[in-house]
Amino acid sequence: MKTYKPTSEGQRSRISSEFDEITTSKPEKSLLAPLTEKGGRNNTGRITVRHRGGGHKKRYRIVDFKRSVQNVEAKVVSIEYDPNRSARIALVKSEDGRKFYMIAPDGIKVGEKVSSGEEVDVKIGNSMPLKSIPVGYLVHNVETTPGRGASIARSAGTVVQVMAHEFGYTLIRMPSGEVRKVLENCIATIGQVGNLDHKNQKLGKAGRSVHRGRRPTVRGLVMNPNDHPHGGGEGKTGVGLKHPKTPWGKPALGKRTRKSKSSDKLILRRRYER
């Protein structure tokens, strides 16, 4: 991590990455796609997610979460920065000339070989079905439905542990501590997602949040009573004996909002059960 001389209040507490692992600043043009900013608005133009908008212009990097290049060795060409995610991405070129992006696991280097399939070696960067991964190994980029593409453990520093294999399912321990069952045919990648120091970054000033597309947030406490349930009152007033509420009067801060899903039966231990 990189610290800065306190030449200003914004620099005084700023901590950022040194980008030592980045090997090129230019992305692969064939794997770029336009990315239109919505500003938190839905298809009717209404703001459905507050405090979004602005920020630096970005282009989307097409990452192959399905690892569709099967049973062919591929070489890591470069490690790149991706403005759309906290993890680094690796540009990989297969022996038959196909290029694709993958999430860069911790410890992978330029020039190393990676592959995907049922009978590949169990080493960092290789992707295979969960049934082929020995118990105790650490993985990332885990699918929840075979062929759908990875959706678990994709952000910087995250990792999932393979706990057991039983009756067509694999038990995995999630980063949150939750233990759940996943079909053994789902694909996972060996290793931990790189850029482990991402959680240690400090922006230092509000402007850097604006650059990321996060607009300022105003507390409900300082609003008028017609704008927020917490607003109003003479002088400084807290929430007091009232229960905290959202701007629309719904309970906030502690009320569980997770709806029951069909996949709930696959969860063996909740994340808040110790």
CATH of the domain at 228: 4.10.950.10
209 inside domain? no
What values do phi and psi take at 199, rounded to 5? -70, -15
Domain that holds residue 238: 221-274
Contact present, 115 and 67 (Cβ < 8 Å): no
Q: What DSSP string describes the chain?
A: -EE---SSHHHHT-EE---TT---SS--GGGEEE----TTB-TTS-B-SSSB------EEE-B-TT--S-S--EEEEEEE--TTSSS-EEEEEETTS-EEEEE-BTT--TT-EE-BSTTS---TT-EEEGGGSPTT-EEESB-SSTTS---BS-STT--EEEEEEETTEEEEE-TTS-EEEEETTSEEEES-BS-GGGGG-B--SHHHHHHTTB-----GGGS-TTT-TT---SSS---TTSPPB-TTS-B-SS---PPP-GGGGGEEE-TT--
> Is residue 60 located within the same domain as residue 101?
yes
4 inside domain? no
Pairing between strand 113-114 and 187-190? unpaired
Q: Which residues of the chain have pLDDT under 50?
A: none
Per-residue pLDDT at 258: 84
Per-residue pLDDT at 274: 64
> Is residue 38 located within the same domain as residue 158?
yes
Per-residue pLDDT at 86: 95
Contact present, 138 and 192 (Cβ < 8 Å): yes
Condensed to tens digits (0 to 9), the pLDDT of residues 227-243 reads 999 999 888 888 877 78
203 inside domain? no
> Is residue 234 located within the same domain as residue 173?
no
> Is residue 238 located within the same domain as residue 192?
no
CB atoms within 10 A of CB 155: 15
Condensed to tens digits (0 to 9), the pLDDT of residues 98-121 reads 999 999 999 999 999 999 999 899
Per-chain mean pLDDT for the chain: 93
Domain boundary among 164, 198, 232: 198
CATH of the domain at 173: 2.40.50.140
95 inside domain? yes
> Is residue 109 located within the same domain as residue 39?
yes
3 inside domain? no
Condensed to tens digits (0 to 9), the pLDDT of residues 185-216 reads 999 999 999 999 999 999 999 999 999 999 99
Contact present, 186 and 270 (Cβ < 8 Å): no
> Is residue 173 located within the same domain as residue 253?
no
Contact present, 213 and 53 (Cβ < 8 Å): yes
> Is residue 179 located within the same domain as residue 229?
no
CA distance 17 to 89: 15
Place of tokens 């709930």: 264
Per-residue pLDDT at 242: 79
CB atoms within 10 A of CB 187: 25
Q: What total of structural domains would you count in the chain?
A: 2
